[in-house]
Amino acid sequence: MARVAFIGLGNMGGGMAANLAKAGHDVRAFDLSAEALDRAKKAGCLPAESTEAAVAEAEAIVTMLPAGKHVRDVYETGIIGKAPPSAILMDCSTIDVVTAREEAEKAQAKGYQMVDAPVSGGIAAAEAGTLTFMVGGTREAFERAEPFLDIMGKAVIHAGGAGAGQAAKICNNMLLGASMVATCETFVLARKLGLDPQTFFDISSQASGQCWSMTSYCPLPGVGPETPADRDYDGGFAAALMLKDLRLAMEAARSVDSYTPMGSDAEELYTRFAEKLGGGGKDFSAIIKMIDDSWQAEGAVPPPPPGVQLPK
């Protein structure tokens, strides 16, 4: 069993670190939040006083942080040059491709092997150890990371060189965001045309319009399998996180001059829903309520009727 440092014990990292500890690894954990550290201690990890203290003598290091700037800060001030160069570095956060590649290069220049290994699956999958990891890095780094990622996931896939894990993650989520919006507007139109939603589901889920957003994650309550729609859109994958991933996808698209009209529409729609209408905390399928005009966020100002101008 190895000594593993785990930095970032939030919604996702908390469950992931617990699974490494449960598998018998000696997990040294650090988070800026005392509450998160306390939860990790109860789950069998040994709390450390800082990132530096957690990574000293580590054989493997996992980070699960909010965004690129946190990853850059933690690697450059607390890990590179502080952890033994023999440690395998695994960043599981969802961040921009450019930062992922730069950090991997900086790590490599100091003799470390590093992978970007973002995940698909939410908090429940992090707790159950059933995440899907998309991994970017050399074949050798991937093979060193795999046994640790295997404990936390149900699938670990090598996507290519440094940054390829992040590229796969944001491409997948751009498709998911766009297909969810298309599924929502389709169900709203079907209903307005007089179709029973369950009947339309039975037809379309076996016809050429079939997609995951419909058959596995239907945005209408009571239709298809149980989904966040059946729990008033609580739990699941927050609209704010979908917006974060769509913004990363658009940033990446601009950097390589790729035309992404549907991704860009999805970004605009999730910005409106998550930020302007206050729906960021709801599951991303709740965007159907903005599309059918039934959304009423607490404290949200209803839009004026058509033709009425609000005073500035």
Structure tokens that stand for 257 in this block: 């001059």
3-state secondary structure of 300: coil
In angstroms, give the least distance from the CB of 192 to ligand NAD.
32
Residues in the chain, total: 312
Helix residue ranges per DSSP H, 111-238: 123-128, 139-152, 164-192, 197-204, 212-215
Contacting ligand NAD (CB under 6 A), which of 37, 44, 87, 94? Answer: 94
Q: Of the candidates 116, 137, 96, 67, which has an alpha carbon nearest to the alpha carbon of residue 253? A: 96
How far is it between the farthest Cα atoms of the chain? Answer: 67
Q: Does 65 bind ligand NAD (CB under 6 A)?
A: yes
- 142, containing H or E segment: helix 139-152
Q: Does 93 bind ligand NAD (CB under 6 A)?
A: yes
Contacting ligand NAD (CB under 6 A), which of 26, 41, 52, 70? Answer: 70
Contact assessment for residue 214 and residue 204, using Cβ atoms and an 8 Å cutoff: yes
In angstroms, give the least distance from the CB of 309 to ligand NAD.
38
Beta bridge partners of 281: none
Give the relative orientation of helices 164-192 and 239-255 as an angle to the nearest 10 degrees. Answer: 120
Structure tokens that stand for 201 in this block: 């589901």
Find the angle CA(187)-CA(193)-CA(197) to the nearest 5 degrees: 40
Contacting ligand NAD (CB under 6 A), which of 2, 11, 172, 247? Answer: 11
In angstroms, give the least distance from the CB of 236 to ligand NAD.
8
In angstroms, give the least distance from the CB of 30 to ligand NAD.
6
- Name which of 188 and 241 has its Cβ closer to ligand NAD: 241
Cα gap 235→254, rounded to integer Å? 32
| 230 alpha-carbon distance from chain centroid | 22
Helix residue ranges per DSSP H, 96-138: 97-109, 123-128
Q: Of the candidates 126, 172, 173, 182, which has an alpha carbon nearest to the alpha carbon of residue 153? A: 126
Find the residue with minimal CB distance to ligand NAD.
Answer: 10
104-163 residues in contact with ligand NAD (CB under 6 A) are 119, 122-123
Q: Does 286 bind ligand NAD (CB under 6 A)?
A: no
Contacting ligand NAD (CB under 6 A), which of 40, 45, 54, 64? Answer: 64
Would residue 169 show up in a list of annotated catalytic residues for this protein?
Answer: yes
Tell me how many residues contact ligand NAD (CB under 6 A): 27
- Name which of 12 and 211 has its Cβ closer to ligand NAD: 12
**Which residue in 69, 106, 169, 244 is the catalytic one?**
169
In angstroms, give the least distance from the CB of 152 to ligand NAD.
12
Residues 215-254, mask of contacts with ligand NAD (x by CB under 6 A): ----------------------x---x--x----------
Catalytically active residues, by annotation = 169
Residues in contact with ligand NAD by CB under 6 A are 7-13, 30-33, 36, 51, 64-66, 70, 73-74, 93-94, 119, 122-123, 237, 241, 244
